[in-house]
Amino acid sequence: MKSVNTRFYLLGERAAVLESRPPVDLVCQRRIWWLAAALRAQHRFIDIVPGMNNLTVVFDPLRQNSQEVLDQLSTQWQQAKQQQFEPREVRIPVCYGGKAGPDLDNVSSYTGLTPEAVIALHSSVDYTVFFLGFQPGFAYMGGLPDALITPRRAEPRLAVPAGSVGIGGAQTGIYPAQSPGGWQLIGRTSLTLFDPYSTSPSLLLPGDQVRFVPEPDHA
């Protein structure tokens, strides 16, 4: 039972947190997704936010007792199964390098791989969406090949264009909207990652399997 490695605590008056100790573990993350889905179906909490091997639930402290929320979270965690889904496979067409990926050369020189090899490796594996955060629809993805791990830029950019595909340490992700950002930008997609007026606003959801597909012109 993993619960020895799990702690439960309050964050302020209206949030309770389940936190599993590092390192990051996909088995644990699958249980978190399972629990998040189960809790969402119960309609008892205001927000249910999976993080990296942790889960935060937001409740109304005038209606729910915080200790009871913690106890419920603990009980349900004992019963949590690993989320088994028909993995949703999302293919993201990417224009790599050039103006679309101004840091491709940085990644290339840091990793010692040619730009072509960086593109081939980045688009050769399935990534898993661990959670969404930072900005609407921004998916933190795990599964980056070790050879591509590159530190963030020393100076974050003030404006990263929407659709930019980047590498931040051992993670990869896509900026849904223009924003400041420090990740190494290696390409860009023309897909809409987030649309607040859609019934399903975020293209990517936790648990999704993502594969980047180089656009033919730039492959």
Instruction: Quote the Cα angle for 39-44-47, to 5°.
Output: 70
| Burial group, residue 166, by CB count within 10 angstroms (0-12, 13-18, 19+) | buried
Measure the CA–CA gap between 202 and 136, rounded to whole angstroms. 7
- The string of DSSP letters for 76-102 reads HHHHPPPP---PPEEEEEEEESTTT-T
| Residue closer to another protein, measured from CB, 115 or 133 | 133
Measure the CA–CA gap between 166 and 122, rounded to whole angstroms. 10
Q: Hey, which residues between 86 and 145 contact another protein (CB under 8 A)?
A: 131-138, 140
* 83 contributes a contact to another protein by CB under 8 A: no
> At its nearest, how many Å lie between another protein and the CB of residue 70?
12
| Residue closer to another protein, measured from CB, 44 or 218 | 44
Measure the CA–CA gap between 3 and 116, rounded to whole angstroms. 44
One residue of 3, 24, 26, 192 binding another protein per CB under 8 A = 24
The residue count for binding another protein (CB under 8 A) is: 44
Site string for another protein, 39-78 (x = CB under 8 A): -------xxxxxxxxxxx-x--xx---x------------
| Residue closer to another protein, measured from CB, 23 or 112 | 23
Instruction: Quote the Cα angle for 25-205-169, to 5°.
Output: 50
* 19 contributes a contact to another protein by CB under 8 A: yes
- Binding residues for another protein, rule: CB under 8 A, are 9-15, 17, 19, 22, 24, 36, 46-56, 58, 61-62, 66, 131-138, 140, 177, 179, 194, 196-197, 201-202, 206
